[in-house]
Amino acid sequence: MTADASRATPGAAPSRVWRHARLATFQAGTPWGWIEDGALVTSAERITWVGPDRELPAALAAADETDLHGALVTPGLVDAHTHLVYGGDRAAEFEQRLQGATYEEIARAGGGIRSTVAATRAASDEALFAAAAQRARVLMAEGVTTLEVKSGYGLAEDHEARCLAAARRLAHELPLEVRTTSLAAHALPPEFTGRPDEYIDAACGWLAGQHAAGLVDAVDAFCDTIGFTPAQTQRIFAAARQLGLPVKLHAEQLSDQGGAALAARHGALSCDHLEHLSPDGITAMAAAGTVAVLLPGAYYYLRETRLPPVAALREAGVPMAIATDHNPGSSPALSLVLMLNMACTLFRLTPEEAWRGVTVHAARALGLSDRGRLAAGLRADFAVWDATHPRELAYRFGHAPCRQVVFGGMPRA
Ligand code: DI6
Ligand code: FE
């Protein structure tokens, strides 16, 4: 069951009017979808009216009203790529890297992802959930209302299921929508050393059970030299598509494996990372309508020097999303607002592109068309900021002045 279904009780949230806001609706056609003095009406969990305050229909103005006195309102933020559920941390590995070891060397020596797998397997269900909930709350405090969470640190049927269940539980216990992604093809677990094809067979076999248990919304893989080959990725995708599950891919992060084109051929919702993306990959993504999810936190933290081909993606009309990639090894970031600044400074996105990347395009990367903009009929998920324009949040860093978050029409406590 999705969080949507559990919360769609008519009348659960009353009708409310939010007046005198600076609205960044991200509706297409105008820069930022900007409305200088705007109003927004919600009923239950939906937005029912958005427009200039002076055009607010008199009948609507009578309902429960809040005057925002010119504060900025944006759609609730969507973090479209996280690995939020795991045990332990990798602070010691951070020190090793500062002493000269590379991320790949550590991974090949059995550290890296594998050390988090050991800590995840050793953690109780409750500990996994509590740690993930604590991280989710940090993201939520900066306006996040929808979060994607991948498995991929269990790497055994039961442990993968435990991680996906912890992710689902987040949406039941917090005012937050969670989309879960099965990422069993993240790394080779130790018990399958030297037998990656057998591991992929096993991982393909787990999907039907995860799907039947309602634990999974999409399927991902890590296609790279320290991950899985395109042929192995292809088998995971075939298993996913057979169950009707959409796919996405960690593609072209450390090398060009042709993963983006492979994913696009499977109608992928998104390809993520993409520092080594080729022109052919871009063409394939554009043709398939696949979103490019750029992850400046991982680029920064691994001190990559090769930039994702932002100008070419822009030129080809590929929608770009921005996410934290929160994970213990390559991006221990818990601020999606900080990623706005990093997307601009490191990747040269415009502030508006970065913002569309954490709202409308991020929603699209999750296959969601009912959020990421402020428009009648969409979910009433939005954030109120102590700012006058969203570019201010991309310009500063280390400061995200989120005053209030409304989730499904209900102000969060
Ligand atoms: N690419 C990444 O950057 C993360 N996973 C992946 O496939 C890193 C995960 C980790 O180091 O724990
Ligand atoms: Fe990732």
DSSP 110-148: T-THHHHHHHHHHS-HHHHHHHHHHHHHHHHTTTEEEEE
Probe residue for ligand 1, chosen from 81, 82, 83, 116 as the CB with the greatest number of ligand atoms within 8 Å: 83
Encoded amino acid at 288, one letter? A
- pLDDT per position as a tens digit, 216-265: 999 999 999 989 999 999 999 999 999 999 999 999 999 999 999 999 99
Taking the centre of ligand 2 as the mean of its atom positions, its distance from the CA of residue 250, in whole angstroms, is 6
């099965």: which residue's tokens?
182
Q: Is 122 left (phi over 0), alpha (psi -120 to 50) or beta?
A: alpha
Taking the centre of ligand 2 as the mean of its atom positions, its distance from the CA of residue 150, in whole angstroms, is 8
- pLDDT per position as a tens digit, 16-42: 999 999 999 999 999 999 999 999 999
The closest of 170, 243, 166 to 212, measured between CA atoms, is: 243
The closest of 242, 244, 250 to 220, measured between CA atoms, is: 250
pLDDT score at 209: 98
Q: What average pLDDT does this structure show over 74-90? A: 98
**According to CATH, where is 3.20.20.140 located in the chain?**
77-365
pTM to 2 decimal places: 0.95
pLDDT over threshold 90, residue 8: no
pLDDT over threshold 70, residue 62: no
Q: Which residues line ligand 1 (CB under 6 A)?
A: 112-113, 116, 186, 222, 250, 253, 298, 325, 327-330
Superfamily of domain 16-75+372-411: Urease, subunit C, domain 1 (2.30.40.10)
Taking the centre of ligand 2 as the mean of its atom positions, its distance from the CA of residue 360, in whole angstroms, is 20
Residue nearest to atom 4 of ligand 1 (CA): 330
pLDDT score at 25: 98
What are residue 42's DSSP bridge partners?
16, 47
pLDDT score at 108: 80
- pLDDT per position as a tens digit, 127-141: 999 999 999 999 999
Q: How far from 89 is each of 94, 262, 332, CA to CA, in Å?
A: 10, 33, 9
C-alpha 117/C-alpha 120 separation (Å) is 5
pLDDT score at 111: 84
Taking the centre of ligand 2 as the mean of its atom positions, its distance from the CA of residue 63, in whole angstroms, is 44
Query: In Å, how far from its chain's centre is CA 255?
Result: 22
**According to CATH, where is 2.30.40.10 located in the chain?**
16-75+372-411
Superfamily of domain 77-365: Metal-dependent hydrolases (3.20.20.140)
- Burial label for 98, CB within 10 Å (0-12, 13-18, 19+), is exposed
C-alpha 33/C-alpha 276 separation (Å) is 32
